[in-house]
Amino acid sequence: MDRTVVLITGCSSGIGLHLALRLASDPSRSFKVYATLRDLGTQGPLWEAARSRGCPPGSLETLQLDVRDADSVAAARARVTEGRVDVLVCNAGRGLLGPLEAHAAGAVESVLDVNVAGTVRTLQAFLPDMKRRGSGRILVTGSMGGLMGLPFNAVYCASKFAIEGLCESLAVLLTPFGVHVSLIECGPVRTAFLEKLEGVPGGVLDGADAKTRHLFSSYRRHSEQIFREAAQDPEEVTEVFLTALRAPRPALRYFSTERFLPLAHLRLADSSGRSYVAAMHRAVFADEPAQEEAAAAGPHRPAPRAPPAAPQ
Active site residue 156: yes
290 is in an annotated binding site: no
214: CB partners within 8 A, 6+ apart? 288
274 is in an annotated binding site: no
86 is in an annotated binding site: no
12 is in an annotated binding site: yes
SS3 sequence, 64-102?
A: ECCCCCHHHHHHHHHCCCCCCCCEEEECCCCCECCCHHH
> Strand 60-64 relative to strand 31-37: parallel, antiparallel, unpaired?
parallel
Rounded to an integer, what distance in angstroms lies between the CA atom of residue 114 and that of residue 121? 10
Please state, as a whole number, how many other Cβ atoms lie within 10 Å of the Cβ of residue 241: 26
30 is in an annotated binding site: yes
For residue 169, report the phi and psi dihedrals to the nearest 5 degrees.
-65, -45
35 is in an annotated binding site: yes
Among 156, 219, 254, 276, the one annotated catalytic:
156
- Name residue 185's beta-bridge partners: 142, 255
21 is in an annotated binding site: yes
Rounded to an integer, what distance in angstroms lies between the CA atom of residue 199 and that of residue 194? 11
10 is in an annotated binding site: yes
Rounded to an integer, what distance in angstroms lies between the CA atom of residue 276 and that of residue 156? 19
211 is in an annotated binding site: no
DSSP 291: T
33 is in an annotated binding site: yes
253 is in an annotated binding site: no
26 is in an annotated binding site: yes
* Binding site members: 10-38, 66, 143, 160
* Binding site members for NADP(+): 10-38, 66, 160
Catalytic positions, written as ranges: 156
* Binding site members for substrate: 143
